[in-house]
């Protein structure tokens, strides 16, 4: 800046000083200043955030510890499990309320045996110990091989109860005693066999045998315990025990043209169990295992003949060798199915293939190739329906049998004979 001096030297000196002042000022670069400022701010923010995070973690850990301590010390009032009467169940020392609740659920759950048996029932091991010596194996020699089943000792002098189909077509029958008697094998005599009820009675020459105790199937209820002892799949599995419940009563099944009233159980029943005992919770025989239903759609269905029904048959078999008073027509044949009926233009029913000599049917004039279509005016479509209606009569009764012969219906009077099976 010029100060008014007139000398050339003074003016030159003054100009130099002004130039030096101009170029000696601080230079200012806005971009660098912003970067530096931002870096400084980021550094400060990072420090702040780190500090905040640490503080948050400390607070969270402290809160969690406080809640955990409070729960463990029981300061929160959480309800305990209660009994049916509403009384709280105390927690044991050293356990949480939740642990006590889980433990109480596990220990209070009754077992299947407890649910299905009365208070005075025997345990399953006691039942097995009681009944097993009375269970025998049945070996039947037939023209085609050997069949294996199970039986029950009915009396100490050697009468054995089993299924009729176990000894069917047998040329020689052997009873195999339990391991209590070292599995002794004794030849058996057939006292009587009834195919319709699937009951048979055998006799062996042996004394002082442990007879089974028999109960009443009429007293059974669905859901109670059921035990099966027998020889499933053969003597290699002799004396096998299975357990379950009574699944149903009065099941009506048609098997080989015979209608049977049966007890259903989910206790495992397999081939070889036939003729063995179905046992209740007191170690009493309440049924004769007879039928195993096998299906690709279901499993675990076992069936037994009610002991009340079986004993009626047993009495006649032991006294007469057959079931007295049971009606017989004396014919055999096969069903006319709906398809055959439509194809040949004949009614559904039962076509006669054989007539027994001297039978009620022969005496009445029923012939081979007659199609039986009814009894006493009630139509039938198969042999099962025919047998069911016939069972309502007894030997000596007079019935009217409707047959289809030569394109016409005929009603033939028949006096029923007494069936003799042995």
98 has a pLDDT exceeding 50: yes
367 has a pLDDT exceeding 80: yes
Please tell me the pTM assigned to this model. Answer: 0.67
Closest CA to 227 of 208, 213, 246: 246
271 catalytic, yes or no? no
Question: What would be the CATH architecture of the domain defined by 327-418?
Answer: Roll (2.30)
91 has a pLDDT exceeding 90: no
What mean pLDDT do residues 251-268 have? 84
228 token code pair? 């099966």
CB atoms closer than 10 angstroms to residue 332: 14
Q: Are 188 and 202 in contact (CB under 8 A)?
A: yes
| Set 198, 257, 316, 417: catalytic member | 198
Q: What is the pLDDT of residue 253?
A: 84
96 has a pLDDT exceeding 70: no
327 has a pLDDT exceeding 50: yes
109 has a pLDDT exceeding 80: no
| Set 139, 178, 274, 359: catalytic member | 274
What mean pLDDT do residues 241-249 have? 93
138 has a pLDDT exceeding 70: yes
Q: What is the pLDDT of residue 180?
A: 81
- Residues 211, 212, 213, 219: is their CA dihedral positive or negative? negative
29 has a pLDDT exceeding 70: no
| pLDDT tens per residue, range 217-227 | 999 999 999 99
Residues of the chain with CATH 2.40.10.120: 112-324
- Categorize the per-residue pLDDT at 66 as very low, low, confident or very high, splitting at 50, 70 and 90: very low
- Categorize the per-residue pLDDT at 269 as very low, low, confident or very high, splitting at 50, 70 and 90: confident
Residues of the chain with CATH 2.30.42.10: 327-418
DSSP for 217-244?
GGG--TTSEEEEEE-TTSGGGTTEEEEE
- Categorize the per-residue pLDDT at 179 as very low, low, confident or very high, splitting at 50, 70 and 90: confident
99 has a pLDDT exceeding 70: no
Q: Are 327 and 221 in contact (CB under 8 A)?
A: no
Place of tokens 């055959």: 340
Q: What is the pLDDT of residue 116?
A: 64
Share of the chain above pLDDT 90, in %: 51
152 has a pLDDT exceeding 60: yes
346 has a pLDDT exceeding 90: yes
Q: Are 278 and 263 in contact (CB under 8 A)?
A: yes
Q: What is the pLDDT of residue 59?
A: 55
C-alpha gyration radius of the chain: 47
| pLDDT tens per residue, range 376-399 | 999 999 988 898 899 889 899 999
Element (H or E) spanning 12, and its range? helix 8-23
414 has a pLDDT exceeding 70: yes
| pLDDT tens per residue, range 3-18 | 444 555 556 555 555 5
73 has a pLDDT exceeding 50: no
Angle (CA) 347 353 359, round 5° = 110
Query: If one looks up domain 112-324 in CATH, what number appears?
Result: 2.40.10.120
Q: What is the pLDDT of residue 46?
A: 56
205 catalytic, yes or no? no
DSSP for 23-49?
HTSPP--HHHHHHHHHHHHHHHHHHHH
21 catalytic, yes or no? no
Range of 78-87, 278-287, 322-331, 385-394 with top mean pLDDT: 278-287
Q: Are 239 and 231 in contact (CB under 8 A)?
A: yes
| Set 116, 134, 165, 217: catalytic member | 165
> Among 56-60, 76-80, 153-157, 212-216, where is mean pLDDT lowest?
76-80
Q: Are 302 and 265 in contact (CB under 8 A)?
A: yes
Distance CA 332, CA 391 (A): 16
Say which residue, 114 or 27, is predicted with more confidence.
114
Q: What is the pLDDT of residue 325?
A: 85
Distance of CA 317 to the CA centre of its chain: 34
118 has a pLDDT exceeding 90: no
203 has a pLDDT exceeding 50: yes
28 has a pLDDT exceeding 60: no
């Amino acid at each position: 800046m010029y100060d008014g001096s007139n000398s050339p030297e003074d003016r030159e000196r003054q100009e130099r000083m002004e130039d030096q002042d101009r170029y000696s000022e601080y230079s200012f670069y806005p971009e660098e200043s912003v970067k530096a400022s931002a870096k400084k701010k980021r550094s400060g923010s990072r420090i702040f955030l780190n500090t905040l995070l640490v503080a948050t973690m400390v607070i969270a850990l402290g809160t969690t510890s406080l809640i955990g301590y409070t729960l463990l010390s029981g300061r929160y009032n959480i309800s305990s499990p209660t009994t049916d009467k509403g009384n709280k169940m105390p927690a044991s020392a050293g356990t949480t309320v939740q642990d006590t609740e889980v433990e109480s659920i596990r220990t209070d759950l009754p077992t299947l045996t407890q649910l299905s048996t009365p208070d005075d029932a025997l345990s399953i091991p006691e039942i097995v110990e009681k009944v097993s010596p009375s269970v025998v194996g049945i070996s039947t020699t037939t023209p085609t091989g050997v069949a294996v089943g199970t039986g029950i000792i009915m009396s100490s002098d050697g009468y054995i109860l089993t299924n009729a189909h176990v000894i069917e077509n047998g040329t020689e029958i052997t009873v195999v005693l339990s391991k209590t008697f070292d599995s002794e094998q004794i030849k058996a005599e057939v006292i009587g066999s009834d195919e319709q009820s699937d009951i048979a009675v055998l006799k062996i020459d042996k004394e002082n045998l442990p007879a089974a105790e028999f109960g009443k199937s009429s007293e059974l209820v669905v859901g109670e315990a059921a035990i099966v002892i027998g020889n499933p799949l053969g003597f290699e599995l002799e004396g096998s025990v299975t357990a379950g419940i009574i699944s149903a009563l009065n099941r009506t099944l048609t098997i080989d043209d015979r209608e049977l009233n049966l007890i259903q159980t989910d206790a495992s029943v397999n081939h070889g169990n036939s003729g063995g005992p179905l046992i209740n919770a007191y170690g009493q025989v309440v049924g004769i295992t007879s039928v195993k239903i096998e299906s690709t759609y279901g499993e675990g269905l076992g069936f037994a003949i009610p002991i009340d029904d079986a004993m009626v048959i047993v009495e006649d078999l032991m006294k007469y060798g057959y079931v007295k008073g049971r009606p017989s027509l004396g014919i055999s044949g096969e069903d006319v199915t709906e398809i055959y009926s439509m194809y040949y233009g004949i009614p559904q029913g039962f076509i006669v293939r054989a007539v027994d000599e001297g039978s009620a049917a022969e005496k009445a004039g029923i012939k081979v190739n007659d199609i039986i279509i009814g009894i006493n005016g009630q139509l039938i479509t198969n042999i099962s329906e025919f047998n069911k209606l016939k069972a309502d009569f007894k030997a000596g009764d007079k019935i009217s049998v409707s047959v289809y012969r030569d394109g016409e219906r005929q009603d033939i009077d028949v006096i029923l004979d007494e069936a003799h099976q042995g």
